[in-house]
């Protein structure tokens, strides 16, 4: 029987990043890639990420979260999704601080003053070529020259590449509207330099405290918001001297506040979530999962 069959879920979004949260603490199970793809195509879908909340593995944490993209692949981190899980758990527990285990490590979350707002500690960014990872050594990961010349637009500049729990490539351009990310995104996501694929972002610097970003999300496609990509763009801008370490990042779905904290280099992301509806996955749909 599918781990998702007849399972209740909560549909939410973080700035338009469509999230489904499934509580698997009472009835454990392992979601397969085929089931995650099927869920995204089911009447209960679609979603960008499915966040499966399991009982904690590490003493002192509040849960173990596995993250699935809509193509069935598993992600290490999802900032918008973590805010959704945290908001549900804030309401359930009454706590103002939570810690969740993920494939990217333990992620801490703090309840914000405005309703349905929280801060997520996304940890330290990683810059070494083998930590991102890249397919071969690169001494300067602020300058990855992929040499792509989109039709009708200026050639893409070198990318700043890094890991925010998952791999990111950020291209700083003068005009976001000049590039068709729906076409560029898939080619760059699957470029040979990225053995685990990558999240692809175009970023434009509006001021030292304000960026605007569009992202092709690994495993999900063009998205209205990707929290880890917003973090990656903010860190990349600071590394390149284009922006300060405390910035507002405007995404198609809205704004996030990013701080690349000086004392420990952790990236703090603050933003809202919205509730859409409660639902249940029809068990009959998973008897023959959609491939």
| 275: Cβ contacts below 8 Å, ≥ 6 apart | 10, 11, 12, 116
- Whose tokens are 């068709």? That residue is 180
Per residue in 90-110, pLDDT (tens digit) is 999 999 999 999 999 999 999
Catalytic annotation on 109?
A: no
Q: Which domains does the chain have, with CATH numbers?
A: 8-123+274-286 (3.10.310.10), 160-262 (3.10.310.10)
pLDDT value of residue 290:
47
Q: Is the pLDDT of residue 1 over 70?
A: no
Residue with the two structure tokens 């992202």: 215
Share of the chain above pLDDT 90, in %: 87
Strands 246-251 and 210-217: parallel
Pick the catalytic residue from 70, 78, 84, 118.
78
> What's the average model confidence in pLDDT over 194-205?
98
118 an active-site residue? no
pLDDT at 291 over 80: no
Kindly state the average pLDDT of the residues 158-186. Answer: 95
CB-count burial class (<10 Å; 0-12, 13-18, 19+) for 99 = middle
Spot the catalytic one: 84, 160, 226, 231.
Answer: 226
């Amino acid at each position: 029987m599918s781990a998702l069959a007849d399972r209740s879920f909560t549909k939410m979004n973080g700035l338009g990043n469509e999230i489904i949260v499934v509580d698997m603490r009472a009835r454990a199970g392992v979601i397969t890639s085929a089931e995650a793809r099927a869920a995204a195509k089911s009447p209960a879908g679609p979603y960008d990420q499915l966040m499966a909340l399991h009982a904690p593995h590490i003493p002192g944490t509040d849960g173990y979260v596995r993250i699935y993209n809509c193509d069935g692949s598993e992600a290490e981190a999802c900032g918008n999704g973590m805010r959704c899980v945290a908001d549900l758990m804030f309401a359930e527990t009454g706590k103002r601080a939570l810690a969740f285990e993920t494939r990217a490590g333990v992620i801490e979350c703090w309840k914000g003053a405005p309703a349905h707002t929280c801060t997520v500690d996304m940890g330290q960014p990683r810059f070494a070529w083998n930590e991102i990872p890249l397919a071969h050594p690169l001494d300067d990961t602020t300058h990855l020259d992929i040499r792509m010349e989109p039709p009708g637009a200026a050639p893409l500049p070198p990318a700043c590449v890094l890991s925010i729990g998952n791999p990111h490539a950020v291209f700083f351009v003068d005009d976001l509207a000049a590039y068709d990310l729906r076409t560029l995104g898939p080619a760059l996501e699957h470029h040979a330099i990225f053995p685990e694929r990558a999240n692809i972002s175009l970023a434009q610097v509006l001021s030292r405290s304000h960026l605007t970003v569009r992202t092709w999300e690994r495993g999900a496609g063009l998205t209205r918001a990707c929290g880890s990509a917003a973090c990656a763009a903010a860190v990349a801008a600071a590394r390149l001297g284009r922006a300060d370490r405390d910035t507002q990042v405007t995404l198609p779905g809205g704004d996030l506040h990013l701080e690349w904290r000086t004392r420990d280099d952790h990236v703090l992301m603050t933003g809202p979530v919205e509730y859409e509806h409660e639902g249940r996955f029809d068990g009959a749909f998973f008897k023959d999962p959609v491939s």
